[in-house]
Amino acid sequence: MSNDSIYQELRSHLTTLRLAAAAEALPGALDAALAEKQSHTEFLKRLLDVEVDATITRRKESLERFARLPAPWSLEDFDFDAQPSVDRAMVTELATLRFLEDATNVLLIGPPGVGKTMLAICLARASIEAGYRTYYTTAADLAARCHRAALEGRWATTMRFFAGPRLLVIDEVGYLPLASEAAAALFQVISQRYMKSSTVLTTNLGVGSWGKVFDDPNVAGAMLDRLLHRSVVFNIDGESYRMRTHRARAERLTSKGGGR
Ligand code: ADP
Ligand code: MG
């Protein structure tokens, strides 16, 4: 068999095995092997490195699309100095994702604009980067989706969907009052994840006032029990970051104006 036909067959093997990146890299890798007098093992390893990298990238992109994060934030963007009520060491620890191993939940509690959604998204981003199935939803979207599912006879499938992700972010619990059906959906999602997988939940409600937003204070209590049983809670106070940047800009403008 000529070198040429061996090469053709090797390429076609790689394609049959769906190793498209390796197939594409083959000519370059062969040239490099000759030029650098690589051993067989080294050549093969380098060729497969290309395929492994492509697979990891593809998987990450797919996790990324699935997660539906509403913003591209990651932890490097979070300004800890601006938010002294957020325990930096704790956030850094959470970013290692060890909390996913024992299904610890994270509760981010605080008024609007203090960075709750941002922190939740930063953890979700880290989780995607580490290769975990991750999903973001607001409480209102979750409720609407469960409502539709109930009408269309897809309740069980939808519950399985929300049980699936290794990390689920439920954003903005308590912004809108939840009718009893919506509260029941949220309760079921939290119950079935309890002790199995982590949920990051953001809310503007102190735990004391959960009863008021849910029609049934018993449901609220049971939900909190499960969420808090194994959890890290951040009570974030201070002023809104949005207002802060807005005010800083306004102050800069007025001080410039005053100087003239
Ligand atoms: P919340 O969910 O608490 O209402 P967000 O997380 O949506 O607040 O934050 C509001 C805005 O302020 C976002 O644009 C966010 O990126 C920004 N922000 C809030 N806190 C910080 C922070 N500590 N560092 C950098 N940006 C921040
Ligand atoms: Mg928010």
How confident is the model over 83-117, as pLDDT tens digits?
Answer: 999 999 999 999 999 999 999 999 999 999 999 99
Q: Is the CB of 114 under 6 A from ligand 1?
A: yes
Q: What confidence category does residue 54 fall into, taking pLDDT thresholds of 50, 70 and 90? A: very high
* Amino acid of residue 45: K
pLDDT of residue 255: 66
Could you say which ligand is closest to the alpha carbon of residue 115? 1
Tell me how far the alpha carbon of residue 77 lies from the centroid of ligand 1, in angstroms.
10
What is the chain's Cα-based Rg? 25
pTM for the model stands at 0.87
pLDDT at site 260: 38
pLDDT confidence bin for 243, thresholds 50/70/90: low
Query: What pLDDT digit, counting tens, does each position of 149-161 carry?
Result: 999 999 999 999 9
CA 238/CA 236 separation, integer angstroms:
7
